[in-house]
Structure 1
Amino acid sequence: MHAELLTKLKALGEPTRLRIMTLLLRGELTVSEIMQVLGQSQPRVSRHLKLLADAGLCERYPEGGWVFYRLARSRVGERLAALLEEMARGDDPEIARDLIRLNEVRRLRAETAQKYFEVAAEQWARIRGLHFSEEAVEAAMLEAAGERQFRLHLDVGTGTGRMLEIFANRAEEGIGVDLSREMLTVARSKMSEAGLANRLVRQADATALPLETGSADLITVHQVLHYIAQPRRALGEWARVLAPGGLLLLADFESHDFEDFRAEYHHAHLGFDREDLRVWLKEAGLEPASIKPLEAVGGKGGLAVLICVATKEAGA
């Protein structure tokens, strides 16, 4: 314990590295973003980040051509981070300037995210108009979770990160995965706006998750399954990651006949039959607790959404 603490303190014994840690307290950042805030060269920033990573104070996550850095999760690191946060609230002019620049970097990130979001929003609006409000889906999923508190929340196909946001007070930690880098940019921006620095997003395939077996005790999958060519394989992967006693919450369309969704919105499936979902969940080693439809807006002819709740036996 003492050796670990000394290693971390030595790594922090340099002004630039203290400044970097103060930035990472506000959420994950790329090397380029840290360079913009500090006004330092890429080799210099990368060297400081490597020293911090070697000391176990930060972690790096490659994502395509980018590399994101965030604070490492450890008891010693968390205590040091709390101390740094207290120091950052002081009147150090250099830290104050860094935080102003960080806000500008976040603003530019938000603008990029908004441009992409506006392009996609028109398509989403048409689909939403055929069924119910997003508020109804969110309320149903929260209700399905009951009063439980969770350790790790995994949101598959996180999109804008909305599920991470609405379950933020129900789980200690949260991670969202998505294949789209554009959507991850949107999600990171939303997490920053909501002040959820401890919620992460990562680029990953929904059928090959970068998480250990049994590591998440809550998994949410909101309007994702219909995009996946092999839904049974995906359910098997989610069951693998789900912890014994954990909860899977899935919201997706019930079977429908809007054939144009395949070409226009790239849906691999036109919704799902309730009995098929029940069978697939059982095949994956999960126990379907309930599969209930939300009534479509306007009654007959609209899209109905199923709220599926499944659990994993404590001894599984």
Structure 2
Amino acid sequence: MENLLTGLRASAEPTRLRILALAARGSFCVMEFTEILGQSQPRLSRHLRLLCEAGLLDRVREGANVWFTLPDGGSPGGSLARAVVERLPEDDPMLAADRRQAARVLAERARIASESFRRTGADWDEMRALDLPASAVEQALLDLLPAGEIGRLLDIGTGTGRLLELLAPRVTAALGIDASRAMLALARARLSRPGLLHCAVRLADMYRLPLPDGGFDAVVLQMVLHYAEDPAGALAEAARVLRPGGGRLVVVDLAPHGRADCIDRLAHRWPGFSDEAMHDLFTRAGLIPGGVVAVPGPMDMRLWSASRAAEAVPADLFLEATR
């Protein structure tokens, strides 16, 4: 009861209610809250600290930046924060003005991110650059994942967040992780639209995911593994966060090819994967290999699926896979 009272006391202040309403629409940093709410940084920092201490906000550091967002709805603080936000009047003039200001800030964030990508030559999508059948791959992925509601989804190497956008209607919550801050800036801009507020992104290393064991019903790695120095380690970590007893992993990547330019120009670490190699990687990660879907194109692609058994991954097998 004390935790509930702490949360209620922390939210019982106009500015903090406005902050929660904004955080329900996406992640914001302190400077963005300052611009939207028109208040000083020291004052807002105090409000943010109180909300975080009460468990109503999550504070995620990415290098020099700190992002604030609502916790997962499964946590006590996250469920309370969402319950409070749901009871805020949609037609409140102050909240409506905050939403307008937030839309302007998000648009500016997307513009800056896009300009940064163009300056660094990173404003491109790999599947488009290789002329791969993106639409066919996306449809195959939708068909391969469990029918109906998927549950909690993790997209490893989310890039600009396209897969989160695609799968949003079928998940209860989704998280995309990437090691590129520039990619995450574009992903946040993409996910700021209505209908995508249950999707979030964060900076993370795919070999050391800052996530609990068994927390996701589905995990996807699309066009990621051919860059991995240690594919076995990446898949072992993906298996760790997959729900035991039926959690589904899908790897989308290139079939074996002889394109030397992918190694030289695009810095691919591996020239595609054979079905046998992927089967072996899944087995080493303690996963049960499933179906394989082939998508022909200028470079053939594969979608490999696997599931996690009810028992945990054996420790010695996990260690071997992560060496």
Asked if Structure 1 and Structure 2 have the same fold, meaning a TM-score greater than 0.5 normalized by the shorter chain, the answer is yes
Q: In structure 1, what is the Cα distance between the partners aligned to 2:44 and 2:201?
A: 23
Offset, 1:121: 4.5
Answer whether contact 2:157 2:179 (CA < 8 A) is retained: yes
TM-fit CA distance, 1:75:
4.9
- Seen in structure 2, the aligned counterparts of structure 1 residues 146 and 77 have a Cα distance that, compared at 3 Å, is closer
Q: Please state how far the C-alpha of 1:166 moved relative to its aligned partner.
A: 1.6
Q: Secondary structure at the match of 1:237?
A: helix
Does residue 1:201 correspond to 2:197, yes or no? Answer: no
The 3 A distance-change label for structure 1 pair 193 and 271 is same
Q: How far has the Cα of 1:114 moved from its partner? A: 2.7
Equivalent positions of 1:1-316 (< 5 A) are: 1=1, 3-73=2-72, 74-75=75-76, 77-79=78-80, 81-92=82-93, 94-116=94-116, 119-122=121-124, 124=126, 127-129=129-131, 131-132=132-133, 134-244=134-244, 245-296=246-297, 302-316=298-312
Question: Do the aligned residues in 2 keep the contact of 1:28 with 1:197 (CA within 8 Å)?
Answer: no
Identity value in percent: 39
Aligned-residue CA RMSD (Å): 1.9
Q: What's the offset of the Cα at 1:195? A: 3.4
Aligned partner letter, 1:312: R
- Residues 122-153 of structure 1 show CA distances to partners (whole Å, capped at 9, x for unaligned) of 56366342x32x11111001101131533310
Contact 1:165 1:194 in 2 (8 A): no
CA contact (8 A) 2:20 2:81 kept: no
* Segment drifting more, 23-32 vs 83-92: 83-92
One-letter amino acid of the structure 2 residue matched with residue 60 of structure 1: R
Compared CA separation, residues 257 and 180, structure 1 to 2 (3 A): same
Structure 1 length-normalised TM: 0.91
User: Is the alpha carbon distance of 1:146 and 1:125 closer, same or farther for their aligned partners in structure 2, counting shifts above 3 Å?
Assistant: closer
Indicate if the aligned counterparts of 2:226 and 2:270 stay in contact, CA closer than 8 A: yes
Q: Distance in 1 between matches of 2:80 and 2:7?
A: 11
| Greater mean deviation of Cα atoms: 9-18 or 219-228 | 9-18
Does the residue aligned with 1:207 lie in a helix, a strand or coil?
coil
User: CA distance change for structure 1 residues 197 and 136 in 2, over 3 Å: closer, same or farther?
Assistant: same
C-alpha change, 1:224 and 1:175, in structure 2 (3 Å) is same
- Determine the structure 1 residue equivalent to 2:318: none
**Partner AA of 1:127 in structure 2:** A
Q: Distance in 1 between matches of 2:38 and 2:272?
A: 50
The amino acid of 2:36's aligned partner reads: V
One-letter amino acid matched to 2:46: R
Cα distance in 2 for partners of 1:64, 1:194 equals 28
Q: Distance in 2 between matches of 1:95 and 1:113?
A: 26
Shift of residue 116, structure 1, vs aligned partner: 4.5
Equivalence for 2:320: none
Cα distance, 1:85 vs. partner? 3.9
| Contact in 2 for aligned 1:25/1:85 (Cα 8 Å) | no
Number of matched pairs = 307
TM-superposed deviation, 1:97:
2.2
Secondary structure class of the residue paired with 1:47: helix
- In 2, Cα distance between equivalents of 1:68 and 1:76: 17
- CA positional deviation for 1:207: 1.4
Residue type of the partner of 1:218?
A
Unaligned runs of 5+ in 2: 313-323
Determine if contact 1:150/1:218 at 8 Å carries over to the other structure: yes
For 1:120 and 1:194, locate their aligned partners in 2 and report how far apart those are by CA, in whole Å: 26
Q: Aligned-pair distance for 1:256?
A: 0.8
